[in-house]
Structure 1
Amino acid sequence: MAPTGHSSMRGRGRTPRAMPYQQPTLSDLQSQGLNDIVSSNITQGRSLLPRSVLRPLTWAFANLTWGNYDYQAYCYRQAVPFTATDENLDGWGAMRETLRKDASTASGQVQFTGGNPGTDLASGTVITRNDGVDYVTTADADVDSGGNLLVPVTCQSSGATGNCDAGTGFSLSMAIEGIPAQGTAPVAMTGGADQETDSEYRTRVLAAYASRSGGGRKSDYVEWAEDIPGITRAWCNPLAFGAGTVTVYVMLDDAQQENGGYPQGTNGSASDEGRYTTATGDQLTVANAIWIEQPVTALVAVCAPKPFPIDVTVANLTPNTTAQIAAMKTALSDLYFREGTPLGMTLEQSDISDALLSTGASFTIVSPAGPVSVPVGSLPSVGNLVLS
């Protein structure tokens, strides 16, 4: 059974045309085998009988041949990082010192009020979130003179599921005399992220092969930030607040999906940076990771972009249905995700109109009446969609 789908080049001086590898199907191989038997004159020109032993033999050999083709197609895909998967993609990334981001665990603090002063809560105590997710205390803590107990905790399961907002309720897994059973998170739990998927990782690997890594260029800060678990987008704004300063904006579109992808914490610098305010939450995680890589003289601040809602008014909408309006908002969200940057941008009215038209609607756009300027430090976001 001869290979199929390979490109050929005839004649000198001609540019070869790239042809994709075409893997023959199992049915194609079986049909080819049966045709080869008939054409070889084994049956003296007659068709095979329905119950001929040559039919199952042909089917068996076609299966074996298809397995070889399938493995060849697999090797073909793993030959370049553009199509490689799983551990082969990991290998391509390692050659550029770009490793897949493992799942990380969320951490934060839980506060109990109304306890008996001096009561001890041991490290390793399990505390359960109201939806059943377990956390464990990472240090001993005592109830203070005011009856308050503040204890650091880490989620026992990896992934973005460990993140939660300030005010989320918690409870002790086992009753402890002198400590109330119910507590809350005084600040948001951050740091949890799911393992990087092949698609997300491949984007970074290809970017690493396309770039010339240096010691502090704009692209370096973006790569350093996007290497951190949970970070899906990053931007670098050099000299943002004076000579020698660098501002890095980040988004966590998956890990902080419930908060619109915006980091949960306060803006600032790394823990070891004494020249500026220390960040907290997601911003601190990024700043501490960049601190290891950045030039020693740079003053780096990690910031969360601010949402910049854009109100859109349309007239004569057809069809005027709830599903249509929802589709239009989704189209706008996709546009802002693809085109948005906190480095200052102008969004044309035609871009907004094209996004809305992609949903199949008929309308007249009333506002915005012209280009929309998004200031530095902000990302465009979906505002009110008004029908007039």
Structure 2
Amino acid sequence: MPYNVPTLKTIIEQGLIDVQSSLDTVLPKFGIEQALNSAVSGSVRDLYDYQSWIVRQIIPTSESDDQTIIDTAQSEGVVRKLATYASGTVTFSGTNTIPEDTQMTHSDGRVYTVTSSSLNGSSVLAVVQSEDTGVSYNVPEGEALTLVSTVPGVSPQGSVTAAISGGAEIENVSELLERLLFRKRNPPMGGAVADYVAWCREVSGVTRAWAYDAYQGGSTVGYAFVFDGRPDIIPTSTDATAMDAYIFRHQDPATGSYVGRPAGIEVIYIGLTLKPLSTALNIVPDTTELRSSVSKAMSNYIASLSPGSTLLLSSLRTAIGAVTGLTDYTLALTTNVTAVANELHSLGVISWGNA
């Protein structure tokens, strides 16, 4: 049975009983004995609090300190993902290569630096890297970048032809805890299905991943992943190419040893498409705070679904009904929502007050 830590009031009262019993007298309301009992009781309560803190650190949970989770994960071979730079390819019209360290800017002020360039007929292909880390430096294909200083024989404006991606923030401790628990429940097996999920989630920015054995027959494994920290969570072609190379062979973040898919296994990237859920919803009371809480509850449930899963109306209702402060609601959705194998549910537009 659980042990209940006594309150400070209980400790003081018990201490007073013990003192009076030892002295065989009733103590006055004010006196040195009362003061000493209160002081000692406060110290005892501090010890209880310290022991309670130790208990929360023994087995990492959401109640553990961040550093405890980080250190424990490190010891288990789950290294916290650091913030990363974004990189990609920008194509310019021209007849000369662009020198390394040449800078170019986006219209919103983001700066990128050339790491290498090559000629392809009348085009110059420049591989660029963001000047700083973070998801905000990712740029989709088709957007324009402009050289800060002119380069002879090269047009000043280029177009992103291979999405500038890979930029990510430092991993949240909650996500690190999820990966640690996944590692404990699914220890590395040299190419088991769970290993592919773990490998995908080792890549900076990747928050969810799935893998399927015998995806297209024997000796095949299908995998998919998303970036929940981006406005568009679906991986770009650059992301898919980088992940394919990572799964083929990479250094383990903890040991430095090379690991990857076993010989004879064909891995198949599953290109996902989103299936947004747009519905109408009335809530009582209808406040901005409750709308935010309900949206978060719906998003959390939908995020727990894997590609091709059925969105259950009963589970969605359970998530909405569990929101603290909500007394009643009306949801326009009346049936379960199915998805095909490569579709991933997401939360679309909620029409508040129109159900």
TM over 0.5: yes
Q: SS state of the match for residue 335, structure 1? A: helix
Letter in 2 for 1:137: V
Q: SS state of the match for residue 157, structure 1? A: strand
Q: SS state of the match for residue 220, structure 1? A: helix
Question: Any conservation in 1 of the 2:285–2:327 contact (CA below 8 Å)?
Answer: no
Structure 1's unaligned 5+ residue stretches are 1-16, 266-280
The answer to whether structure 1 residue 129 and structure 2 residue 109 are counterparts is no
Distance 2:331 2:40 in 1: 63
Query: Structure 1 residues 85, 331: closer, same or farther in 2, change over 3 A?
Result: closer
Matches within 5 A, 1:135-214: 135-141=112-118, 146=122, 148-214=123-189
Question: Any conservation in 1 of the 2:279–2:331 contact (CA below 8 Å)?
Answer: no
Alignment TM-score, normalising by the size of structure 2 = 0.75
Distance 1:87 1:327 in 2: 28
Letter in 2 for 1:171: T
The answer to whether structure 1 residue 19 and structure 2 residue 3 are counterparts is yes
1:299 aligned partner: 266
Letter in 2 for 1:206: L
Distance 1:47 1:325 in 2: 53
Q: SS state of the match for residue 164, structure 2? A: coil
Letter in 1 for 2:75: M
Matches within 5 A, 1:276-287: 281-287=238-244
Letter in 2 for 1:295: P
Aligned length: 332
Letter in 1 for 2:58: A
1:100 aligned partner: 80
> Residues 318-351 of structure 1: CA distance to partner in whole angstroms, max 9, x if unpaired?
679796888766554333112x211x32233333
Question: Any conservation in 1 of the 2:117–2:125 contact (CA below 8 Å)?
Answer: no
1:271 aligned partner: none
- 1:121 CA displacement: 1.5
2:60 aligned partner: 81
1:275 aligned partner: none
The answer to whether structure 1 residue 346 and structure 2 residue 310 are counterparts is yes
Which of residues 63, 86, 90 in structure 2 aligns to 1:110?
90
Q: CA RMSD in A?
A: 4.0
Structure ranking higher on relative contact order (CA contacts 8 Å, 6+ apart): 2
2:345 aligned partner: 380
- 1:137 CA displacement: 0.9
Matches within 5 A, 1:349-364: 349-355=313-319, 360-363=327-330
Query: Structure 1 residues 159, 318: closer, same or farther in 2, change over 3 A?
Result: closer
Distance 1:23 1:127 in 2: 64
Matches within 5 A, 1:248-263: 248-254=223-229, 256=230, 258-259=231-232, 261-263=233-235
Question: Any conservation in 1 of the 2:165–2:236 contact (CA below 8 Å)?
Answer: yes
1:238 aligned partner: 213
- 1:377 CA displacement: 1.2
> Residues 339-378 of structure 1: CA distance to partner in whole angstroms, max 9, x if unpaired?
x211x3223333344455566554364x54x333211111
Letter in 1 for 2:3: M
Structure 2's unaligned 5+ residue stretches are 250-259
Letter in 2 for 1:221: Y
Which of residues 288, 297, 300 in structure 2 aligns to 1:334?
300
1:274 aligned partner: none
Query: Structure 1 residues 72, 299: closer, same or farther in 2, change over 3 A?
Result: same
- 1:140 CA displacement: 3.9
Distance 1:357 1:75 in 2: 35
Question: Any conservation in 2 of the 1:158–1:193 contact (CA below 8 Å)?
Answer: yes
> Residues 73-95 of structure 1: CA distance to partner in whole angstroms, max 9, x if unpaired?
55444332235444443332233
> Residues 266-308 of structure 1: CA distance to partner in whole angstroms, max 9, x if unpaired?
xxxxxxxxxxxxxxx1122222222222221110122332112
Query: Structure 1 residues 125, 242: closer, same or farther in 2, change over 3 A?
Result: same
Q: SS state of the match for residue 189, structure 1? A: strand
Alignment TM-score, normalising by the size of structure 1 = 0.69
Q: SS state of the match for residue 85, structure 2? A: coil
Identity of aligned residues (%): 24
Question: Any conservation in 2 of the 1:23–1:73 contact (CA below 8 Å)?
Answer: no
Q: SS state of the match for residue 189, structure 2? A: coil
